Amino acid sequence: MDQVLEKLKQGILQFQTEVYPPNAEKYKKAATEPQQPSTLIVTCADSRIDPELITQSGPGEIFVTRNIGNLVPAYGEMMGGVSAVIEYAVSALKVRHIAVCGHSDCGAMKALLSPASLESLASVKNWMRNAEAALSVADSLAPAKEATAERLKRLTEENVLLQIQHLRTHPSVAGAIARKELTLSGWVYDIGAGQVRISEDGERAFHPVTARATKA
Ligand SMILES: [Zn+2]
């Protein structure tokens, strides 16, 4: 017996018996209507992140793409899955917001800080080129003596800001922003604290989401 698969099947059974029945109407409605997500979330593949849970979103509400390090290759670089998701979300689904969500203790960001760890991971090493400028910016802004934890936090934020810049190079995104149909934000999710800090309106600073800070 495949124990890993059995555990997954147990989860599916639990979903079918406990979660689905009280929400059946919601799922049936979602299945019969075209999806109209308001938001595209670009986040890390890290298994500790659950975009639907932290935003309390239901079926059809958020369009999500995940990869190592929540990276968005600039337009023309590495045309592939991420570029296609962005184009589809903006041009076909007409999402009105894109959030790039980084997180605490990100393995990809730690790898950027110690490149030797990527020597045996050729694909990951190649992919992480999309974040190299974030390391340059983070290091150029760092004080002379910065603790490792602070350096990682700074890099995580700079990476999110860099990926927002990359997003703007995509024609679908640039056009929608120009027409004021799309806004962008950067997030850092602190897994241990259960908190999300957000950079919005083009600001470089990230602010925690609090009841008071939430805009109407
Ligand atoms: Zn990560």
Q: How far is CA 52 from CA 1, 37, 64, 139, 207, in A?
A: 31, 12, 9, 33, 21
CA of 191 to the centre of ligand 1 (A): 11
CA of 216 to the centre of ligand 1 (A): 31
Tens of pLDDT, residues 172-188? 999 999 999 999 999 99
Which domains does the chain carry? 1-33 (no CATH), 37-208 (3.40.1050.10)
CA of 86 to the centre of ligand 1 (A): 20
Q: Is a pLDDT exceeding 80 seen at residue 158?
A: yes
- In this prediction, what percent of the chain has a pLDDT beyond 90? 90
CA of 6 to the centre of ligand 1 (A): 27
Tens of pLDDT, residues 14-32? 999 999 999 999 999 999 9
Q: Is a pLDDT exceeding 80 seen at residue 10?
A: yes
What's the pLDDT score for residue 213?
Answer: 53
CA of 102 to the centre of ligand 1 (A): 7
Report the predicted TM-score, pTM, of the whole model to 2 decimal places.
0.94
**DSSP secondary structure of 29-51:** HHHHS----SEEEEEE--TT--H
CA of 106 to the centre of ligand 1 (A): 4
